[in-house]
Amino acid sequence: MKFEAVKWQDDIISSIRYSILNNSLGHAMLLCGQKDECFKLANAVADAILCEGKDASFCGSCPSCVKLNAGSHPDKIVVTPKKASMGVEEIRDFSANVYIKPYFGGRKIYIFKDADKLTVAAQNALLKLLEAPPSYVLIIMITPKEEDLLPTVLSRLIKYTLKLPSWQQVLQYLSEKYPEKKEMAAFCARFCDGNPIGAEQLLKENGFFDKRKRLLIFLGKLTKNEKSAVFDFANYLTDDKDNFEENLGFIFAILRDCVMLNANLGEKAVINSDLCKELTALSKRVTNTKIDRVIKEFSMANENIKKNASFALTVTNTLLSVWEEIHD
């Protein structure tokens, strides 16, 4: 994999490439952040080191790169847990493997894809090896956050924390990749602020864009004097109860937008930027104090549903309370 496949991490990549070229990369590093992105970077690092070229990048055509492309390079090993966690037993297997010299070239690279799943005992069992592994070894650990590892393990790793892109960067990326979905991309990038993978997944989902509009219409009806809207809304949410958390996310995004508009922060502060007209109308009918209470009601409903309360009953009662709050 080429470094170019890893987005938004130019500073880290230049620093790592510089270290590879100067032979100062050390023998153990930690990549911290969104796991899939960290894994991409770990692969790019491994491939740059194992490539037979001399410029710290994956050339794609040397015998080593051909093997890497085919996923059959014996000196790049991805270590994954066999069960929910990774224990001492697996570290023993790993330690035995480490002392087998590389098959090609000079290095052997281990990527711990889920280092956060190492048990405390397993981490302790790794300490010695992390302190002084054979010179040809590079261990790359991946965790969402550094607190996932013991301080004694951390102190033996060179740490790189992957940066989250801004929503504007995510929007640019999505707009280039899906030019036909620009309007939706604007929503996804802001709705999943700082989470490019979530934003892209949402963009690929069918129907979410209209779903959000429907929820806005229901909320609009609630703020008018139509009490029957409570039951229509409750039925709608109940029919789609498997997606309640997602619906709730959309509802919160709509309410948040109303708060922004009521605070006169302007349309630029709005997540549902394609619905500004409708949102402005809605926000005029509810004060921010009331929106706060409505958000609390919905959050409480979510907690109760997680505790196995009856869905239909909880949602109906919540919407009745919401209606009372708004028309108080």
> Applying CB under 5 A, which residues contact Zn ion?
51, 53, 59, 62, 65
Question: Given the complex with Zn ion, which of 106 and 266 has the nearer CB atom?
Answer: 106
Residue 22 CB, nearest approach to Zn ion (Å) = 19
Residue 106 CB, nearest approach to Zn ion (Å) = 14
Residue 160 CB, nearest approach to Zn ion (Å) = 23
Q: How far apart are CA 211 and CA 215, in angstroms?
A: 6
CA atoms within 13 A on the CB side of 316: 10
Tell me the three state secondary structure of residue 111: strand
Question: Given the complex with Zn ion, which of 105 and 220 has the nearer CB atom?
Answer: 105
Backbone angles phi, psi at 86, to 5 degrees: -115, 120
Residue 65 CB, nearest approach to Zn ion (Å) = 3
Question: Given the complex with Zn ion, which of 62 and 259 has the nearer CB atom?
Answer: 62
Tell me the three state secondary structure of residue 143: strand
Question: Given the complex with Zn ion, which of 21 and 62 has the nearer CB atom?
Answer: 62
Residue 103 CB, nearest approach to Zn ion (Å) = 16
> DSSP character for 234?
H
Q: What is the rounded end-to-end Cα distance, in angstroms, of the chain? A: 60
Place of tokens 């508009």: 261
Question: Given the complex with Zn ion, which of 75 and 257 has the nearer CB atom?
Answer: 75
Q: How far apart are CA 171 and CA 76, in angstroms?
A: 34
Q: Which of 125, 50, 134, 128 is nearest to 92 (CA)?
A: 125
